[in-house]
A and B are shown apart, each in its own frame.
Chain A
Amino acid sequence: MKRVLLFILFAAGGAGGSFAQQESMGQHGMQTAPAAGQKTAKGTGLIQQIDREKGVVTIKHGPLPALNMTAMTMTYTVKDGRQLANLKPLQKVEFDLTYDGKDFTITRIR
């Protein structure tokens, strides 16, 4: 039942911008991209929340086909936390999201 529950939750997330996790997707080991090789997608989204101490940002973003991701709201780690300094909640941003087979990381955001 637990597996079914998780499937439904993630499916719902993929379908329309769901509840996001408190940590980045990669830290939960979500299997949405190939395990081998690094892939990067360019995205556009609306910042929902910034945690500068943890260096993470929650973004409601559009589809990221390069990573086989639909539109959703997710919290991601930012590789260089200094990039968060001038950002504000509800600001529209462009970002690069990289998946290394394990973790999702924002490598550029502005």
Chain B
Amino acid sequence: MSYTTRRKFLAALAGAGSVGLGGLPWRLEAALAADPDSQFTNRLRLPGADGLYAAIPAKDVKQLAVSEVTFDILPKLPSPFWAYVAEAGGKLLLNPTLLARPGDQIRLRMLNRLKQPTIIHWHGLTNDDRNDGTGMYLAAPSRHYDYAFEVRDRAASYWYHPHPYGFTAEQAYKGLAGLFIVIDDDEEKLARALDLTLGVTDIPLVIQDRSFSFEGKFEYNLSRDQKFMGLLGEEILVNQTARPYLDAARRVYRFRILNGSNARSYRLAFAQGSRLLDYYLIGTDGGLLEQPRVVRETFIGAAQRLDVLLDLRAASGNEPVFLKSLAFDPMHNESADEKTGKPSAAGAADDHAAHAAAGALPDGAEMRLLRINVKSSPKYARQIPSQLSRLPSPASSTGEPRRLTLGHDGKGNWNINGWRFNMGETPVTVQRGTRETWLLQNNRASMPHPMHIHGFQFRLQERRDSPTQIKALATRQNGLLPQDFGLLDTVLVWPGESVHMALAFSHPFSGDQTYMFHCHNLEHEDSGMMIGYKVKT
């Protein structure tokens, strides 16, 4: 019995048992409880003046201490929590929301107070390899690492998180992640037009799934199966708040959504009762789209960002609105037949089953993430602008695309073109200043992979052979999804699907530069689904 077949068999048993003994798994029932008011009782944590996610100009931060602190993730239950800790005006900031403008000079020291090596990756920002946080440079315990870079990218919700190969998943899971928000004139214009204020009506939502011990402390115990599939947690946290609620006015809100989960994808929708509300997709990883796009649901893979506007004037009555993840096929087709795409006999039973630890919310399950209480409020008459920004033209290449295939070896190891990560090796070399198309082909015998490139943002040109649930959301333009029209640093590629990425390898850094290209399912990344690539001068 191959590794994936054996795993499928065990997962099928667990899946059958969880349902067969009494309907829905209790975990799923909890997520969909008929009495949501009794479930969502914790006020959503928001960036404030201090504490978690406090907002501060990035250029004012001189040190981030990577520390284990004690933090009440669950009310009145102190838990060990790993955080980037900054001090400002005598206050402690945990995972501060760093604010910057293009051109800002960032000079800060990362001090490692953990007992394992670490490094910060500035996810989405254009940096040289010394400042990118590729993992080639690390700070050992009790040592520091100094960053010095200029913010060169357009306004967007970037983020920062650990990137030490082999330790990334655990460190991120235990708390290390923060937003790096770049603001420019277009952003300020939008904020003025809609009267948006960060932390009040412009709200970051960091979605992460986590598991807690019976004492209410974070648990990160990785089984062999979870190493292969990625960790799925038992609770969905939004801004480190379990079962959160937000009191909102009847007006337009901006939500900067980051999927900070290690492995889980979501199919995001806003629902009032059984009615799905339209919302406006206004931005992606690399900032604002040119125009808002009206959507009702959007997939978001690990590490991706979606910037959306929700007009709560469209909500009726006082019934709460829920940010939900709608049910979807998580496509765990690892043991499918590669030629036909059909499930193997042993794997047929659990294509939709939970794959992670017993008790985890099944991948693809419908679940509520955030309750939004719509309160009466003063009249709000602002209109969503029809034009948001201008995007740089996609880099088109006339050459043959560079093919990169995502797959596994049947022994529990994911790879890219058969390559597994080796520090110091760069199986791909590109010439600085050139343009390339990268054709990512995810095998049929696979699962969804959120693929992230360091050093450069890209545009998507085409999706091919997308699964039905993706095709259903696609536009008429080359099978692209609404979020594919933005600047991206991460793309979720589904089993059997191919995507064409347009890349321009232009940057101002002298000398050869080495970056990473990898799956942002962090358990995949840590186990070798990553390659280094060299940008040669």
Q: Which residues of chain A have a CB within 8 Å of any CB of chain B?
A: 5-6, 8-9, 12-13, 16-23, 28, 44-46, 48-50, 52, 58-62, 71, 73, 75, 88-92
B30 touches A90 (CB 8 A): no
Q: Given the known A-B contacts A5-B16, A44-B215, A58-B26, are A19 and B77 also in contact in the complex, defined by CB atoms under 8 Å?
A: no
Closest Cβ–Cβ distance, residue B256 to chain A (whole Å): 25
- B residues in contact with A52, CB < 8 Å: 38
B214 touches A90 (CB 8 A): no
B216 touches A46 (CB 8 A): yes
A-B contacts at CB below 8 angstroms, number: 98
Q: Is B29 interfacial (CB-CB < 8 Å)?
A: yes
Chain A minimum-CB-distance residue to B17: A9
A9 touches B13 (CB 8 A): yes
Closest Cβ–Cβ distance, residue B75 to chain A (whole Å): 7
Given the complex of chains A and B, what is the CA–CA distance between A17 and B33 in angstroms?
Answer: 21
Which B residues, 63 to 86, have Cβ-Cβ distances below 8 Å to chain A?
74-77
- A residues in contact with B26, CB < 8 Å: 19-22, 48-49, 58, 73, 75
Q: Which residues of chain B have a CB within 8 Å of any CB of chain A?
A: 13-14, 16-18, 21-27, 29-30, 33, 38-39, 41-42, 74-77, 212-216, 235, 242-243, 357-359
- B residues in contact with A45, CB < 8 Å: 214
Closest Cβ–Cβ distance, residue A1 to chain B (whole Å): 11
Given the complex of chains A and B, what is the CA–CA distance between A91 and B429 in angstroms?
Answer: 53
- B residues in contact with A8, CB < 8 Å: 13, 17
Chain B minimum-CB-distance residue to A22: B22
A90 touches B242 (CB 8 A): yes
The contact of A23 among B22, B75, B77, by CB within 8 Å, is B22
- A residues in contact with B76, CB < 8 Å: 92
A46 touches B214 (CB 8 A): yes
Q: Given the known A-B contacts A19-B25, A50-B38, are A92 and B215 also in contact in the complex, defined by CB atoms under 8 Å?
A: yes
Please name 13 pairs of A and B residues whose Cβ atoms are closer than 8 Å in the assembled complex, sorted by A: A6-B17, A9-B21, A12-B358, A17-B214, A19-B21, A19-B27, A19-B358, A20-B26, A28-B21, A89-B41, A89-B243, A91-B75, A92-B76
B30 touches A17 (CB 8 A): no
Chain B minimum-CB-distance residue to A20: B26
